[in-house]
Structure 1
Amino acid sequence: MSQDQPGDLSQFSMQDLFRMEADAQCQVLTEGLLTLERSRDGSAAAIEPMMRAAHSIKGAAAIVGLDLVVQLAHGMEDAFLAAQHGKLALTPNRVDVLLSGVDLILRVARLDEAAAPAGLAAAAGQIRQTMAAIANIAFLPEPLAPPPPPALAPAPVGAAAVDAAAPTAPASSPPPSPQSTPQPAAEEAGAPARPPAPSKVAHNFDRLLSLASESRINAHQLHPLIQELQRFKRNQGSLFAQLEQLHEAIANGADAALKEKSLLALQKSHPLKQAMLEHIAAFESYERRVLAVAGGLVDEVLTLRMRPFRDGVQAFPRMVRDLARGMGKEVSLRVVGEDTLVDRDILARIESPLNHILRNAVDHGMGTPAERAAAGKPPHGSIVLEARHRAGMLSIEISDDGAGVDLERIRQAVVERGMAGEAMAAALSAAELLEFLFLPAFSLKRSANEISGRGVGLDIVHETIRQQNGTVRLESELGHGFRTAITLPLTQSVVRALVVDIKGEAYAIPIVKVERVLKVAQDAVHTLENKQFFTLRDEHLGLVSAAQLLDLGEMAAGAGELPVVLIGAAGRRYALVVDAIRGEQSLAVQALDPVFGKLRDISAAALLDNGEPVLILDVPDLLLSIDKLLHQGGLHRLARADQAARRKTKRILVVDDSLTVREMERKLLLGRGFEVDVAIDGIDGWNAVRGGGYDLVVTDVDMPRLDGIELVALIKKDLHLHLLPVMIVSYKDRPEDRARGLAAGADYYLTKGSFHDETLLDAVLDLIGEARL
């Protein structure tokens, strides 16, 4: 059974089951007819699936006593059989008639049982017309306009037409003909039992995701406990060292009884050291297993929310085909990446933007067959709608082989409407000119029709995509085509975010809205008209205090570099100054209670891996707040010119033969304010460390010439270096490997398997404290 079909069918009536069957088979018929018309492939293999679909509908309709559908399906079978034997060419006009039959079958199938007799009687004339057209399809004159859809009474929402969120609803139900979309009627007494309401299902999903997220957070709570055990182990090690020294002192004395007691105490301490190592290793192993299970649970819950891309776009090929036919054009839509998984909420919200883009492509870009032939193109136009996952995001591209957009016409329209002077307009790039198409009431059409020309469309597309934390980009090549690229998060339930500190509190910024993260040196900050800025790639970027934007007070003017998050785009780009950059995290989004309404600059909330609550910033709101703040003036001063407060910076030596690991550790430590030197192996590290001046050594184990264990032993045996803290960072995480490192004198043993940014930094801070004295 298909994963989209309900597992338990006993709750449905025969009429419900027929409705599901009709939905699925009519989709096969629609897709088959459009494919056949596009490819002109009249082979038996191409027609066979449609014959099977029509035959299945005929049999199912006979079971539930729908003679009308039986006759329709039988007539379509005859047409397919004739085409299969080469006796009938399925021209576009004949495809029109067959598609009208598909629409009729769907509408009859979706009628409520009680309302069916009246609905069929009211549309008897149109029904007879459609059936006659199918029966006489071989004798149709050319050209023939497609018959109008039968005006049947709207069908109630039943088991086959509920929201995709309901687990018992078939996912493949095609929408009605674009010429007439039935509206759901109120539920009537005696109607078949329906699945849970979408809102109920959504609430259950949100609760399940919340619980899964909490389980992951609880798993992360083991990490602080393991760190405490590591600290206890180090204290224990110091105590045992003192105990050994005490025993050596006593052993040099003459008191035999005291010697015996001292030796006994020393012997009893050894199992304690080994037990601590074993407990820490067991806790770390348990932490990894729990994190894996919790992460898998979150992933599985999110998978429940994902739907294949086809579920949201299956009506578009038919819509494009019918729309083009009505305008005297020949255009087909090809969908690529139908199996790409998309969050069901995103899929529902992007249906309207995609509809706008496709209609614009047919109306603006595609010419008639004669116009295309004059331009040296095939008479049949092509649009490609492609969806795929790229770099953790959903990428949707709509491209056509039409006429494209004349950039000079945009430039002229910009000047005519007073949006820019001639000199400024002449300097605008192609990308900047295309951005004007996103403005409300901006259209290049000379006259409006029911499809486009009123300046409504791309502005709605842009706003809708922006609300989903996505971006949209336009490209055009005059005479060759137009391309729209949309990038969206894979899901709105989990957001990849940059976590920052602002006035001692954690805040998150969706990573898709972050252009860059950097540190700005004090001497790179300039002031002009009470506004502070710095220059990046010949662009002046204004500095704005995040604390001031959020009404959290004034930031303390520091003497070091300013952590900066670059947000915005084009001429509206700003550098948001924060207290510190924590790093990236995947956050399970929690909607704010509706009682708060829409909070300024805040979009949602979440919990960090350590259980700390965090507010997710609304970047478009932030940009509006920045504009308002700049207009009002009074920006806080962020940089301080005097450098007299600079303190001594602690130095760290990183020893690792892997360039990648070495550079990653170096950048992490530099970002925290430490001075960092590197060595490429143990010998290089030993030579460097003997030069003195380091506060910490971070070393790998497996290295050429001199491994990390030997390096640690040399340092701890050296008269001048034995107090220098040493941290081992290694892929080896077996208890015996850890025991070797600690026995050699390492003060900390960190495994790369459980390594992440904060782990290393926390360990460094635990050993030597902050970067500055």
Structure 2
Amino acid sequence: MPGFELTDEELRVFLQEASEQLEILEQGLLRFEKDARNPALVQEIFRAAHTLKGGAGAAGFQEIERLTHVLESLLDEVRSGRRAVTVPLIDRMLEAVDALRQALVAIENDDAEGSAGLAAVRSRLEQLLAEEEQGCLVEWKVRVREDAPMPSIRLYQAQLILEEAGVLREVHPTAEMLEAEEHREMTALVLHEKPPEEVEAQLAALEDLEQVAWSPVSGGGGSAADQAGEQTGFGPEAGRIQPAGGVNGGAEEEQQPVLGNAGALSQTVRVDVALLDRLMNLVGELVTDRTRLQRLVSLDADAAALQEELEEVSSHLSRITTDLQESIMRARMIPLSTLFRKFPRLIRDASHQLGKEVDFAVSGEETELDRSVIEQIGDPLMHLLRNAVDHGLEGPEERLRKGKPVTGRVSLTAYHQENHIFIEVSDDGRGIDPQKVLDAALERGFVTHDAAQNLSESEILELLMAPGFSTAQEVSALSGRGVGLDVVRRNIERVNGQLSVETRVGEGTTWRIKLPLTLAIVQALLVELGGDVFAIPISNVIEALRRWKGEVEAAHGWHLIRVRDQVMPLIDPGDMWGDAYRVAWPEGKPMPVVVLQAGLAPMALLVDRLLGEQEVVIKQLDPIVGDVPGISGASILGDGSVALIVDVVGLTKEVRRRVTH
């Protein structure tokens, strides 16, 4: 806790700025691990640590100041070239970032115990800072027999063993070179943590190796590594992570842009000053119209003059409210980068835990979406990304056997199309075999043999999202037993989104999320049921038409209609929401039917009357109302009456539930 009292505003500013600097630190470290030759990047990371240290000191949070000081010292050694960038070093620094983030949460919650772990993390960093690079520096030579099949796979297996032995300083050929062409010899330089004799025994156990030789390199430590590089003739690009700012530090190379100032997704939204000015101007116009209306109340004029001025004021108010609506919606829109920037760390940790090499690509992060939608899709995206790394991508050896690059690819893409935002999670892994999905569904009783005969490939893949369904053969500590896609879909459907999947066996899988731009205001088709008004989001409406009673068929207790050669269930609202909403079908008169789309198969809803289209503002139902199947909220119409918002996804699920039971 600080040694002096901060005002609430001062504390809020400190927490916000500290969170922003931690984001820069984390994202910078993740990039620096792959781009250690970028001196501008290490300078940006160092500046973030320095800024955080200064802010914590000024606010009186001494433990945060002490930890960031040690972090700053380590970064200074990296910046000056005195310390090489290694995976263990990045791990320790990311551990410090996590501890600092937890401390900020503790400060916000006024939890005095929440910062207790900072001292232990600082102690580990201080120990790392005090240590010179210790260990036995060893040069290895490995050769595969001339008649051995797939020699590159054997060399890659040997490389993995050497990586586990300590810090793999240099290696030739690299993993990328092994992918590109066939090699039978490998040389490597390793700073050992394990005894070389133990590693030699592991290498000797590999098949098809005719030579495994090692020899210590004189000098040891960091300086000997440089000497050994000269003795073995390894090239400067052979696999060591070079310190930025050192010799050949890449100052002449074109550098990638350094991370910008990225704040965490919090309960605050940054708004452009120009937008605030526009809102202020619109409020000023509203005040003017209010004054005009007040004047009209006291005005002694004939009806025609009053009507003319009222129409003018009404027209002006309509324009202002439209502008206000658009401006406020724009203020609620935030870029997906606020969410996407959390995922590189997730992919890094998952790939290290699983022993897989993953190239993670993100595009479309500048796409904007309503913040209430973004808040709801974080967990589903996290689950899909973990599944892509864990279950989607093959291991390195399997990828080599299939002729694929050792490094798997996972991509996260967002784009805007019409009135929706699409987010895709793709991998270039095994793909999903529909036949295996169907076999698992039959074995577990998710579908009958008769029903299975008529399922299309897309309908089979949709079984993946059934509650409790899994094709995972092995339990994973990262993704559990492979279950949870039903939860992912349910969370996406809560924001009126849809989840679908495309896959090719042996080539990869793409999960696609379709989302509305905003949850606050939607274009809806108004219908009348039992004297009440219901609003159906236009995004879920295929068409509205009329059908005669004689066109309705019956099967298994359900009504069916045919629309353009497609048979679909016809839902009577009374079956969903009670007899008060049952539609009475008069003789000799067609009734309106609304064809709805949510998922793969459409369905039709019988209604009393079509009332037209209108924009509606969605409001949540009071908790005392409870969970009503097929209803997601309500809206107050212009005449003061209330319209219930139809949840088409929920309605579809309820129909399916009743059909299967």
Q: Aligned partners of 1:554, 1:119: CA distance in 2, in Å?
A: 59
Q: CA deviation at 1:64?
A: 4.7
Q: CA deviation at 1:96?
A: 1.6
Q: Aligned partners of 1:331, 1:54: CA distance in 2, in Å?
A: 28
Distance 1:114 1:284, change over 3 A: closer
Q: What's 1:578 paired with?
A: 607
Q: Aligned partners of 2:70, 2:117: CA distance in 1, in Å?
A: 22
Q: What's 2:392 paired with?
A: 365
Q: Aligned partners of 1:304, 1:450: CA distance in 2, in Å?
A: 40
Aligned counterpart in structure 1 of residue 89 of structure 2, from 83, 88, 94: 94
Q: CA deviation at 1:508?
A: 1.0
Aligned pairs (5 A) from 1:277-296: 286-296=313-323
**Alignment partner of 1:24 is 2:20:** yes
Give the aligned residue type for 2:505.
L
Q: What's 1:696 paired with?
A: none
The 8 Å contact of residues 164 and 344 in structure 1, kept in 2 or not, is answered as: no
Aligned counterpart in structure 1 of residue 122 of structure 2, from 110, 123, 127: 127
Aligned pairs (5 A) from 1:588-667: 588-599=617-628, 601-620=630-649, 622-623=651-652
Give the aligned residue type for 1:164.
S
Aligned counterpart in structure 2 of residue 468 of structure 1, from 492, 495, 502: 495
Distance 1:459 1:88, change over 3 A: same
TM-score normalised by length of structure 2? 0.66
Q: Aligned residues, how many?
A: 510
The 8 Å contact of residues 347 and 389 in structure 2, kept in 1 or not, is answered as: yes
Which entry has the higher C-alpha Rg, 1 or 2? 1
Q: CA deviation at 1:319?
A: 1.7
Q: What's 2:584 paired with?
A: 555
Aligned pairs (5 A) from 1:247-646: 286-420=313-447, 424-425=451-452, 427-520=454-547, 524-526=551-553, 532-546=559-573, 549-550=576-577, 551-552=579-580, 553-557=582-586, 559-567=588-596, 573-599=602-628, 601-620=630-649, 622-623=651-652
Distance 1:136 1:383, change over 3 A: farther
The 8 Å contact of residues 316 and 333 in structure 1, kept in 2 or not, is answered as: no
Q: What's 1:254 paired with?
A: none
Q: Aligned partners of 2:112, 2:467: CA distance in 1, in Å?
A: 47
Deviation string 1:524-582 (CA, Å, 9 cap, x unpaired) is: 54567886543224322343433665423542425354321123557864321223323
Deviation string 1:232-272 (CA, Å, 9 cap, x unpaired) is: xxxxxxxxxxxxxxxxxxxxxxxxxxxxxxxxxxxxxxxx9
Deviation string 1:256-312 (CA, Å, 9 cap, x unpaired) is: xxxxxxxxxxxxxxxx9xx97x99876655443221101222333444444432333
Q: Aligned partners of 1:539, 1:121: CA distance in 2, in Å?
A: 64
Distance 1:599 1:137, change over 3 A: farther
Q: What's 1:56 paired with?
A: 51
Distance 1:594 1:531, change over 3 A: closer
Of 79-88 and 535-544, more deviation after overlay is shown by 79-88
Higher relative contact order (CA 8 A, sep 6+): 2
Distance 1:41 1:287, change over 3 A: farther
TM-score normalised by length of structure 1? 0.57
The 8 Å contact of residues 421 and 516 in structure 2, kept in 1 or not, is answered as: yes
Q: CA deviation at 1:384?
A: 2.1
The 8 Å contact of residues 71 and 125 in structure 2, kept in 1 or not, is answered as: no
SS at match of 2:619: coil
SS at match of 2:470: coil
Q: What's 1:173 paired with?
A: none
Distance 1:296 1:137, change over 3 A: farther
Q: CA deviation at 1:587?
A: 0.8
Q: Aligned partners of 2:264, 2:91: CA distance in 1, in Å?
A: 28
Deviation string 1:52-111 (CA, Å, 9 cap, x unpaired) is: 212323333444566665565455445545555666553433322322232344445555
SS at match of 1:379: coil
SS at match of 1:33: helix
Give the aligned residue type for 2:608.
D
Q: Aligned partners of 1:417, 1:538: CA distance in 2, in Å?
A: 33
**Alignment partner of 1:34 is 2:30:** yes
The 8 Å contact of residues 565 and 575 in structure 1, kept in 2 or not, is answered as: yes
Deviation string 1:118-159 (CA, Å, 9 cap, x unpaired) is: 7777764553123322554865886569xxxxxxxxxxxxxx
Q: CA deviation at 1:505?
A: 3.6
Give the aligned residue type for 1:478.
V
The 8 Å contact of residues 20 and 264 in structure 2, kept in 1 or not, is answered as: no
Q: Aligned partners of 1:507, 1:113: CA distance in 2, in Å?
A: 43
Structure 1 residues without counterparts, runs of 5 or longer? 1-8, 146-160, 170-207, 223-271, 633-773
Q: CA deviation at 1:628?
A: 8.7
Q: CA deviation at 1:471?
A: 1.1
The 8 Å contact of residues 99 and 118 in structure 2, kept in 1 or not, is answered as: no
The 8 Å contact of residues 548 and 554 in structure 1, kept in 2 or not, is answered as: no
The 8 Å contact of residues 502 and 547 in structure 1, kept in 2 or not, is answered as: no
SS at match of 1:555: coil
Deviation string 1:321-342 (CA, Å, 9 cap, x unpaired) is: 1122111122354443334333
The 8 Å contact of residues 635 and 644 in structure 2, kept in 1 or not, is answered as: yes
SS at match of 1:585: strand
Q: Aligned partners of 1:453, 1:117: CA distance in 2, in Å?
A: 34
SS at match of 1:127: helix
The 8 Å contact of residues 265 and 338 in structure 2, kept in 1 or not, is answered as: no
Deviation string 1:696-741 (CA, Å, 9 cap, x unpaired) is: xxxxxxxxxxxxxxxxxxxxxxxxxxxxxxxxxxxxxxxxxxxxxx
The 8 Å contact of residues 445 and 453 in structure 1, kept in 2 or not, is answered as: no
Q: What's 1:164 paired with?
A: 266
The 8 Å contact of residues 67 and 118 in structure 2, kept in 1 or not, is answered as: no
The 8 Å contact of residues 365 and 402 in structure 1, kept in 2 or not, is answered as: yes
SS at match of 1:350: helix
Q: Aligned partners of 1:114, 1:395: CA distance in 2, in Å?
A: 36
Q: Aligned partners of 1:359, 1:513: CA distance in 2, in Å?
A: 30
The 8 Å contact of residues 470 and 512 in structure 1, kept in 2 or not, is answered as: no
Structure 2 residues without counterparts, runs of 5 or longer? 137-162, 168-262, 272-278, 294-301
The 8 Å contact of residues 98 and 134 in structure 1, kept in 2 or not, is answered as: no
Q: What's 1:178 paired with?
A: none
What percent of counterpart residues are identical? 32
SS at match of 2:592: strand
Q: What's 2:152 paired with?
A: none
Q: Aligned partners of 1:626, 1:111: CA distance in 2, in Å?
A: 46
Q: What's 1:698 paired with?
A: none
Q: Aligned partners of 1:306, 1:397: CA distance in 2, in Å?
A: 20
Q: Aligned partners of 2:121, 2:599: CA distance in 1, in Å?
A: 56
Q: Aligned partners of 2:454, 2:638: CA distance in 1, in Å?
A: 48
The 8 Å contact of residues 63 and 118 in structure 2, kept in 1 or not, is answered as: no
SS at match of 2:355: coil
The 8 Å contact of residues 544 and 574 in structure 1, kept in 2 or not, is answered as: yes
Question: Aligned-residue CA RMSD in angstroms?
Answer: 4.3
Distance 1:625 1:385, change over 3 A: closer
The 8 Å contact of residues 545 and 592 in structure 2, kept in 1 or not, is answered as: yes
Distance 1:611 1:389, change over 3 A: farther
Give the aligned residue type for 1:94.
L
Give the aligned residue type for 1:440.
P
The 8 Å contact of residues 441 and 455 in structure 1, kept in 2 or not, is answered as: no
